[in-house]
Structure 1
Amino acid sequence: MPIPARYSRVLPAVLALCAGLAAPMVGPTAHAAPIARTAQPRTGFEESQGARWTSQAEEAAFLAGVDRVGGRLSMRTVGTTGQGRPLRLVRIGSGHPTANTMLLICSQHGDEPSGREACLITIRDLAMAGDSATRRFLDRTTVLVIPTANPDGRAADTRGNADGVDINRDHIALGTAEGRAMAAVIRDEQPDVVYDLHEYGATPRYYDKDLLALWPRNLNTDSAVHGEARTLSETYVRPAAHEEGYSSGTYGIWTDPVTGEPVKQVAGDGQERILRNAAGIKHSIGLLVETRVDARTDAEEQDPALNSRRRVDSQLTALDGAFRFVAERRTRVEAATGRARLAGFTDRGPVYLGGADNDPATPDQTLADPPCGYRLSAAQYADVRDELALHGVVSLPLGPRGLDGAYVPLRQSQRQLVALLLDGRAAYHLTEGQPRTRC
């Protein structure tokens, strides 16, 4: 699969790097030209012109090849799946401490492969680009990529992991190796943007856009972070899709095919265990992006490779908008995420145990006067101490090595998350701590 010309708006190096070597990407109304072989590392998807998805052996060889010739890339293993497959984290950029950090989480659901292919292509494009604009971008931006967030599911072509668990519902409990690895990366890297790539099945007439996007709806997301996430979706990602002729909509919202008005909500709530919401609660600008799996045309019905190329191209189009967002709004992004990470030390406001930005929390879903913290027994602390640490929650052990339990104060960066993890009224709490009202 060639590099799309639209990257010239943000990453003009891509064109210079590959000039004359590849045909244009297939767009929503175009047909794909044959893909020329080049000296660049290429994915299995590219080599087959979209006839098959990149295998995991090909992914490993591809990343090693990019690493050899790209010069800007480093990799490490951040976890191992139940079936022994590595969870890789790719880092691209200068590593400068003042750089913005953008984390791409690719194909949490193993049967949604187009995001993974887009991530692999993006890794190469960034690592091998040679122009000054891309160098400046990467001097100021660290791009982190987990190219295959669910390797066991990808190998089996299943939504869940090897144990059948939907890892995009595991960002609170952290019961899976995949969820734990992602939590550790978010804790350690503190990304400004967490961008989550998925696919969806259309419901014709009401829910069949080429691309859907959704920000964190959880009410515990800092207001400035929430605002930037909506801007990322509505001012950058979706318009980028429109510029390339793709239709777009809001994930989870059916719309009237004539008026375009919302009909009903079928997904996309404020559950804290979903990555886009967990990212917002943890003070990152989260965004879920989903591209349409179903064939759009008779040609796509007859040629599955054409359908696959369109799916990957729409992911790349959306990523183009996300890169523009980071490049153009880095100061606002840094201010929003930086202030949010400090707010928990002085915040005395409510914590919400339910509701969403389009569904106000009820009184029984609202901790209007949250406790100072939660006391955990020794047994409780032993059960959840690792998960608290992976979430970046500070706990204060009581007695030697926590033999008398622990106290978890709300006065910390992850203030809202503490209550969601330890209050018995929270839907997905890890354990029921004893609220302490005297500070």
Structure 2
Amino acid sequence: MTGPEPGGLSGRSGRGPRSSRHPVRNLALTAAAVALAVPLVTVPSEAARTPPRTGFEASDGARWTGADEERSLLAAVVHHGAGARVERIGTTRQGRPLRLVRIGSGRPAALTVLLVCGQHGDEPAGREACLTTIRDLAYATDPATRAFLSRTRVLVLPTANPDGMAAGTRGNADGLDVNRDHIALRTAEARALAAVIRDRTPDVIEDLHEYGATPPYYDKDLYALWPRTLNADDQVHDASERLVERHVRPAALDAGFSSGRYGVWTDPVTGDPVKQSAGDGQERVLRNMAAVKHALGLLVESRADALSEAERNDPALARRRRVRSQRVALEALFASTDKERAPIRAATARSRAAGFADRGPVYLGGADNEAAEPGEILADPPCGYRLTAERYAGARDELALHGVTSRPDGDGVYVTLRQSARRLIPLLLDRRAASRLTDGQPDTAC
């Protein structure tokens, strides 16, 4: 993980009632970020006061924002002097920088919100929403937004898969799906993000995506979902579900968008669930890994295909609608986290501390709406796992990126479960775990 850029850039619970829009909804938004790989240029003072526009905005949705335009926007944001910082957190296989933008409070007590934009390179609407959000936050002068930023740290990974974005592909340059790599950490992109989560300990993580509709059963304008993993702390799980059901989805409906739960097909007449095609409890996807790592998790998916003949005839209409729906979700996220910051901080702090008590089952399968099979439940988990020197050498870097600690044990190491990452460790080391890093020897002699 490198330093600052050149130029100084540094259900378990039942569904609750829908809430109306919160007044904080007027927070200036627009999201995403990008960092600069070139030194900053001098910007005239008048230009520095004028908010920059993305390529998407300048073309009225006729095209997506290019990499150079993203870099220029970030240069203007940093030069503006509102406290925005950008740092390079990694490099892709094709040599493109992975950049993290920070704006808002630097106080340790601040609530930290992380936006991950464009893990799939062919899903650009979330990235556009993230870029404009960064700009709007940096240039905001209204008291509500400035107060929000004084008590909130907003982190944005605006282009989480730069190689995929450049190629217009779902996967990265190796053809790997970054959003299926949050356990194995084979990709540079997932490794960089794992380090951010380990070091910045976000309280809330939103993952922005797009999807292709299957009318009439699966065709809402915007879908959202919370972490379904059974390894989520109860309070983190429930707070995540409330975020989706009481804030994000109602905000989408208020804004005129249709909305549903990601992965759930519904009867077009009755609205009853028909089947589930996605949105399970696999921890290798970010929505679930967020909760395993003690953060509220939120997945947002905008509909990528055209809704009407007008959108088919004018693709810019569809692009603008896709980006608008993502911005509505971001507004709801900011408003709700600002309103509920105290219980959110309490939930994430409890989750981080719970592992040291070394109690309760760990699940190798199942979800909050699908019971784990008996063989997927570690009802009485081991005290830890022993790794030979050879096995540890093959998994050492990934364990460190996940924040898992170990101690010497003979010619190998011992990984105790009595640590913050308790519910993650069996997913990494138990021979029954589907996406494990290596096979550890369980120690049951507690």
> 1:327 aligned to 2:342?
no
Q: Which residue of 2 is the match for residue 173 of structure 1?
A: 184
Question: How big is the shift at 1:11?
Answer: 4.1
CA displacement, residues 242-281 of structure 1 (integer Å, 9 cap, x when unaligned): 1100010000000000110000010111111000011111
1:263-322 per-residue CA deviation (whole Å, 9 max, x = no partner) reads 001011111100001111111000110000111121111100111000000000111110
Letter in 2 for 1:234: E
User: Structure 2 matches for 1:78-117, cutoff 5 A?
Assistant: 78-117=89-128
Please say if 1:124 is aligned against 2:135. Answer: yes
SS of aligned partner of 1:369:
coil
Structure 1 regions of 5+ residues with no counterpart? 1-5, 16-37
**Does residue 51 of structure 1 match 2:66?**
no
In the other structure, the counterpart of 2:431 is 424
| Distance in 2 separating the partners of 1:281 and 1:138 | 27
Q: Which amino acid aligns with 1:112?
A: E
1:407 corresponds to which residue?
A: 414
Q: CA deviation at 1:57?
A: 1.1
3-state SS of 1:290 partner: strand
**Residue in 1 aligned with 2:36?**
none
Aligned length: 408
| Correspondence 1:26-425 to 2 at 5 A | 39-398=50-409, 404-425=411-432
Who is 1:10 aligned against? 25
Note the C-alpha offset of 1:181. Answer: 0.3
Structure 1 stretch displaced more, 214-223 or 66-75: 66-75
Task: Supply the AA of the counterpart residue of 2:428.
Answer: L
In structure 2, the residue corresponding to 1:416 is in which secondary structure? Answer: coil
Name structure 2 gaps, 5 residues minimum.
1-20, 31-48
For each residue in 1:157-177, what CA deviation from the matched residue of structure 2 results, as whole angstroms up to 9, or x when unmatched? 000000000000000000010
Offset at residue 326 of structure 1 (A): 0.8
Deviations 1:97-156 (A, max 9, x none): 100000000010000000000000000011110122111101111000000000000000
User: Secondary structure of the residue that 2:360 maps to in structure 1?
Assistant: coil
Rounded to whole Å, the distance in 2 between the matches of 1:11 and 1:78 is 32
Displacement of 1:39: 3.2
Distance 1:13 1:197 in 2: 19
CA distance in 1: counterparts of 2:399 and 2:28, whole angstroms: 42
User: Contact between 1:70 and 1:128, CA under 8 Å: does it hold in 2?
Assistant: no
User: 1:298 and 1:55, CA in 2 relative to 1: closer, same or farther beyond 3 A?
Assistant: same
Let me know the Cα RMSD of the aligned residues: 1.5
Q: Which amino acid aligns with 1:397?
A: P
Secondary structure, aligned partner of 1:124? helix
1:252 touches 1:268 (CA, 8 Å); kept in 2?
yes
Q: CA deviation at 1:8?
A: 7.5
Q: Note closer, same or farther for the CA distance 1:292–1:70 as it changes in structure 2 (3 Å cut).
A: farther
Q: Which residue number in structure 2 is paired with residue 25 of structure 1?
A: none
Runs of 4 or more above 3 Å deviation: 6-15
For 1:70 and 1:203, the matched residues in 2 are separated by: 46
Q: Secondary structure at the match of 2:423?
A: helix
Q: Distance in 2 between matches of 1:14 and 1:205?
A: 32
Of 163-172 and 63-72, deviating more is: 63-72
For the residues of structure 2 that align with 1:7 and 1:119, how far apart are their CA atoms? 21
Q: Secondary structure at the match of 1:191?
A: coil
Distance 2:159 2:81 in 1: 20
Identity among equivalent pairs (%): 65
Q: Which amino acid aligns with 1:278?
A: M
Q: Is the 8 A contact 1:137 1:327 kept in 2?
A: yes
Please say which of residues 389-398 and 94-103 is displaced more in the overlay: 389-398
